[in-house]
């Protein structure tokens, strides 16, 4: 799969692994970073070696693993100098404390002091350590200096206790790294993203819906967050987890979605309608479950057209719509852009198995009033980045 627009493509990540039980997850962090096109060099502490071998990290990263300050005398300067970002995952209380105090007594802590770029830390520890005021002071010192924190989460900890301290999921760590490296080109924007399918009820238990998973809309919401926007995600039923940092509104029907959009609209500057809103709904919804007897004739009527409703307003936001079509119907998308008075439309070929509903990839054409950008098959995350890059250009 071609993927030119990956945020981490060609980025050099210096991953610092410290002495926590969560150290084994560093392998997965490395794998995901490399999948995203980054190169990874690992520094590990002596304590980390109690939890994971340097060989595993070397195999995963396909790079030499560094640990000793004196065996590579210039490494504490050259490794940070060649890195785009430093990531401490997992980050122990000890290493966070040393960094906050400016202590440089091993290769990892010395590299942290000689690095002037973005640093992401993913703390992992027992809740008693995490809640300790000394640790909290150290953490806050680092945050006030612009260090990015991801996690920890609440949940069951390795020691068998429940509490805050579990290292964030790897996907959250990757998202935090991407966010730290993204330019905040949408910092002034308040973006509404709609996602997923709607459900139009025949009776209390049956509904008409479609195959939308919400993947494209959720990817757009995450990409907008990375670019610094304030994001409201209005979602129909989806199995995906809510992106951290969005205002999340759950809806079922097209009418619910229209109401939610209207409620959020006054303060919003951009509306991205990636939801697969049902075109039709049953003309009547039975109050009781419809009994099984003979044939059932269902009369359908049109659902409210959210984009048309919004685009006729005078103080409307910048509107981006999607045209999911099968086959070469790009002309219909161009027509829809004009007819519905949108600012941009994403033509989405949903006929192919690797594009459209419920898959991780998409093949789209970004059409706005000035140009058309035809993108190759890409991950939905990359498509989301491309759409928001074009939005940033227009808004700049
Ligand atoms: C079994 C075990 C698990 C540990 N897990 C953690 C942990 O999750 N987080 C943490 O901050 N310290 C943890 N520690 C303590 C650190 O390993 C210790 O503070 C060490 O000095 C950290 O060194 P480093 O920061 O140089 O890696 C653990 C210790 C043991 C024995």
* Domain coverage including residue 74: 12-181
Domain boundary at 127, 157, 181, which?
Answer: 181
Closest protein CA for atom 11 of ligand 1: 92
- Ligand 1 pocket, 45 CB below 6 A? yes
Distance of CA 194 to the CA centre of its chain: 15
Q: What confidence score (pLDDT) does residue 357 get?
A: 66
pLDDT of residue 329: 82
Q: What is the mean pLDDT of each run of 10 residues along the chain (396 residues)?
A: 66 98 97 96 98 98 97 95 98 98 97 97 96 97 95 85 91 95 95 97 95 94 96 97 95 96 95 96 93 89 93 92 81 92 90 69 91 90 94 94
| Domains identified in the chain, total number | 2
- 233 lies in the same domain as 169: no
Q: Is residue 54 part of a domain?
A: yes
Q: Is 194 in the pocket of ligand 1 (CB under 6 A)?
A: no
Q: Report the alpha-carbon angle 61-63-64, nearest 5.
A: 125
pLDDT score recorded for residue 2: 42
Residues marked active site are found at 159
Q: Which phi and psi (to 5°) does residue 331 adopt?
A: -60, -35
Sign of the C-alpha dihedral computed for residues 309, 255, 201 and 345 taken in this order: positive
Q: Output the CA angle 189-194-195, nearest 5 degrees.
A: 135
**Residue 196, both tokens:** 């997923």
Together in a domain, 239 and 375? yes
Domain CATH for 128: 3.40.50.1950
Domain assignment present for residue 353? The answer is: yes
Query: Which residue has its alpha carbon closest to ligand 1 atom 9?
Result: 125
228 and 258 assigned to the same domain? yes
**Residue ending a domain, choose from 151, 181, 211:** 181
The torsion angles phi and psi of 207, rounded to 5 degrees, stand at -145, 165
Question: Which neighbouring-strand residues pair with 249?
Answer: 234
Q: Is the CB of 185 within 6 Å of ligand 1?
A: no
For ligand 1, whether the C-beta of 48 sits within 6 Å is: yes
Task: Verify that 147 and 199 share a domain, yes or no.
Answer: no
Ligand 1 center from residue 47 Cα (angstroms): 7
- Give the contacts of 206 (CB within 8 A, at least 6 positions apart): 289, 290
Q: Which residues lie closer than 8 Å to 338 by C-beta, 6 or more apart?
A: none
Same domain, 221 and 254: yes
Contact 6, 179 (CB under 8 A): no
155 shares a domain with 200: no
Residues 29, 144, single domain; the answer is: yes
| Residue 2 belongs to some domain of the structure | no
Q: Indicate whether 6 belongs to any domain.
A: no
Contact 319, 342 (CB under 8 A): yes
Cα–Cα distance, 300 to 305 (Å, whole number): 15
Which one-letter DSSP state was computed for residue 290?
P
Per-residue model confidence (pLDDT) at position 1: 36
**The CA-based dihedral angle spanning residues 326, 328, 331, 334, taken in that order and rounded to the nearest 10 degrees:** 60
Q: Are 264 and 240 spatial neighbours (Cβ–Cβ below 8 Å)? A: no
Cβ of 21 less than 6 Å from ligand 1: yes
Q: Which of 16, 47, 135 to mutate to test the pocket of ligand 1 (most atoms within 8 A of CB)?
A: 47
Q: Which two tokens stand for residue 268?
A: 């919003």
Distance 120 CA to ligand 1 centre (A): 19
Non-local CB neighbours of 383 within 8 Å, separated by 6+ positions: 216, 219, 362, 364, 375
- The finding on whether 95 has its CB within 6 A of some atom of ligand 1 is yes
- Report whether residue 364 contacts ligand 1, using a CB cutoff of 6 Å: no
H/E run at residue 268: none
1 within domain boundaries: no
Taking the C-alpha atoms of residue 38 and residue 7, their distance in angstroms, rounded to an integer, is 9
Mutate to test the pocket of ligand 1, among 15, 19, 48, 138 (most ligand atoms within 8 A of CB): 19
Residue 176, token pair as written in the block: 């935090």
How crowded is residue 106: how many other Cβ atoms within 10 Å of its Cβ? Answer: 20
Asked if 264 and 311 sit in the same domain, the reply is yes
CA distances from 224 to 158, 166, 187, 191, 251 (A): 34, 27, 9, 8, 21
Q: Are residues 202 and 175 in the same domain?
A: no
Give the CATH number for residue 365.
3.40.50.10300
Which of 279, 284, 269 shows the shortest CA–CA distance to 308? 279
Total residue count of the chain as it appears in this document: 396
Is 28 in the same domain as 97?
yes
Using the mean position of ligand 1's atoms as its centre, give its distance from the Cα of residue 124 in Å.
9
Same structural domain for residues 176 and 195?
no
């Amino acid at each position: 799969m071609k993927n030119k627009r990956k945020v981490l493509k060609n980025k050099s990540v210096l991953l610092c692994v410290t002495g926590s039980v969560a150290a084994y997850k560093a392998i997965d962090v490395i794998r995901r970073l490399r999948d995203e096109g980054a190169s990874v060099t690992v520094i590990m502490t002596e304590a980390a070696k109690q939890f994971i071998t340097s060989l595993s990290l070397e195999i995963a990263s396909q790079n030499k693993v560094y640990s000793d300050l004196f065996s590579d005398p210039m490494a504490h300067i050259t490794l940070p100098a060649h890195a785009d970002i430093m990531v401490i995952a997992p980050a122990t209380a000890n290493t966070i404390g040393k960094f906050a105090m400016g202590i440089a007594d091993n290769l990892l802590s010395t590299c942290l002091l000689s690095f002037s770029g973005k640093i992401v830390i993913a703390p992992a520890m027992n809740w008693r350590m995490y809640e300790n005021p000394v640790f909290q002071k150290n953490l806050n010192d680092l945050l006030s200096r612009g260090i990015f924190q991801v996690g920890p989460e609440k949940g069951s900890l390795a020691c068998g206790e429940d509490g805050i301290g579990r290292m964030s999921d790897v996907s959250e760590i990757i998202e935090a790294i991407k966010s730290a490296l993204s330019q905040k080109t949408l910092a002034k924007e308040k973006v509404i993203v709609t996602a997923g399918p709607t459900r139009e009820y025949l009776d209390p238990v049956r509904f008409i819906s479609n195959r939308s998973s919400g993947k494209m809309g959720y990817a757009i919401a995450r990409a907008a967050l990375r670019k610094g926007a304030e994001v409201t995600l209005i979602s129909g039923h989806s199995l995906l987890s809510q992106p951290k940092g969005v205002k999340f509104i759950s809806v079922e029907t097209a009418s619910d979605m229209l109401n939610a959009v209207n409620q959020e609209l006054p303060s919003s500057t951009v509306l991205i309608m990636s939801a697969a809103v049902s075109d039709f709904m049953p003309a009547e919804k039975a109050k009781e479950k419809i009994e099984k007897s003979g044939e059932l004739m269902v009369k359908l009527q049109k659902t409210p057209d959210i984009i048309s409703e919004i685009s006729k307003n005078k103080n409307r936001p910048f509107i981006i719509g999607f045209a999911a079509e099968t086959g070469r119907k790009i002309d219909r998308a161009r027509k829809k852009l004009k007819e519905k008075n949108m600012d941009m439309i994403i033509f989405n070929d949903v006929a192919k198995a690797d594009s459209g509903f419920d898959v991780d990839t998409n093949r789209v054409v970004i059409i706005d009033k000035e140009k058309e950008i035809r993108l190759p098959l890409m991950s939905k995350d990359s498509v989301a980045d491309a759409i928001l890059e074009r939005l940033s250009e227009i808004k700049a």
